[in-house]
Amino acid sequence: MKAIMISGRTLAQGAGCECKMSPDFLKAVSVCHLSREDYSSLGLSEGKNVLLKNDFGQAVLTPKVDAGLRQGMVFIPMGPWANVLVGPDTGGCGTPHFKGVEVDVDATDAPVRNIRDLFRGLWRATA
């Protein structure tokens, strides 16, 4: 499914943002909110995850129904998982496009990576 991704603040993300290495923060931000219609059309159910992919990267997230979203739009709490999908271009003003990002969304059985896994191997990586 093609979708538009927006990232932003949530209460749980804010409450956990000074303890980012904790399981609570992982639970708060490695989540993908979808409309009820998109949740059903992707065949999602308890225990299934979603894989979001675009030219910038890919992330496996826990899906969550959000009645406030329209079909074709997904919301991810701001943080390192959402930013895997954000491109570096700033359009000359210093600020990347953290919202309105085109992504492909599919159901997956792959697990959500924890925060240390997400950054493992990055230090001084040459690739």
Residues found near other proteins in the complex (CB under 8 A) = 4, 6-11, 14-22, 56-57, 66-70, 73, 75, 78-80, 83-100, 115-116, 118-119, 122-126
Six-digit token string for 42: 């992707």
| Exposure letters 100-126 (e unless 16+ CB within 10 A, then b) | ebebebebbeeebbebeebeeeeeeee
In angstroms, the CA 2 to CA 110 distance is 19
Q: From the CB of 93, what's the least distance to other proteins, in Å?
A: 5
Measured from the CB atom, is 14 or 111 closer to other proteins?
14
Written as six digits, the tokens of 105 are: 């969304």
Least gap, CB of 111 to other proteins (angstroms): 19
By beta-carbon proximity to other proteins, the closer residue of 18 and 46 is 18
